[in-house]
Amino acid sequence: MNRKSAEKRAISLDVTSGSFQNDPHIRYIKSEIQAFGKQYPATEAKIAELLQQSITIPDYVFNESLTALQSIVKYLKEERSLKNSEIAKIAHISQKSVWQAYRNSKAIQQEVFTRQKAAYAIPLSALKPGLTALESVVFHLRITEKVSFRGIADILRRDQRTIWTLFRRAEKKSAKRAAEDLAEDKAFIGLKAFTQTVTKRYHVSVSDILASASGQVSIPDTVFSKERTILQSIVHYLRDKKGFRNKAIAGLLHVSEKSASQAYRNARRGKDLGDVAGSRLHIPVSEFKQGLTAPESVVLYLHDKLALSFSGIGRILHRDPRTIWAAYALAMKKETGGRK
């Protein structure tokens, strides 16, 4: 008997032995499989298959003709033989929606997907509750796989600007859901009460505490005024309140040293920066992006990360909401490469 045959026989003997079958871990797995079989229902063989398989969605199933949901449902039914009820749980939608998506996909594309080598395989766990199928796929490719917006657009056969919009929407939805879960956490509720006591005692904001604790540089919203440009306000604050030199500021804001020097010189011609205490929010300098102007970076952060309205941002920056909208539109165009 060769070595491989001996190993197979040894494993087989172990599996059928009393010590194996009475092992608490093995008994637990068996009981859980039986419980899942009653709950869904599904055969033990089907559950065993699902436990051993890691089902993913290959990127080649996406095309211009089908929606993302139609592509996913069609693939899971035809290539993975999943039932509507199983797909509904995976995609976090109703069985009726699954049935409708599959029927529509068949009306558009009768033939099965041609198997190809997939550049990316999207795990079923990427389909998140609260997000559409397309939002989930875009979010996964961008966050987990680090694919560019242009690359995602090529994979999903969609407009690059649409991909950017979908990602921002998914980002907001995910953040909102996470925030809702966090707000209900008992430990967080306790921290909130304690934090409110401390901030009142020292007359500071939570942003002030975080900035001082981590050493992160951020711009308080109180530095902005009508008299100065946004860049001048930021440079003035970093020079006079934080002690940065022009060269360091240039690196932080992604501008030339000459631009930083000019902005500071012009800012100094106006009134003194004054007291910047009492800020409601801070803008981390890490949010200033290369290729965007200071106003564009600030507006993009306030709108996309803090979900502020254009009118609200206008009040903070002392600018007309139409100017804010124009800055945001230009930033979005630059972020997406201005491609259709």
pLDDT tens per residue across span 286-323: 899 999 999 999 999 999 888 889 999 999 999 999 99
Please tell me whether the overall predicted TM-score, pTM, comes out greater than 0.95 for this model.
Answer: no
The CA-atom distances, in angstroms, between 339 and each of 287, 293, 327 are: 23, 20, 18
The answer to whether 237 and 276 have CB atoms below 8 angstroms apart is: yes
Q: Tens of pLDDT along 37-96?
A: 777 766 666 666 556 556 789 999 999 999 999 999 999 999 988 999 999 998 999 999
Q: Which of 137, 133, 139 is nearest to 98 (CA)?
A: 133
CA separation for the pair 20, 23 (Å, rounded): 5
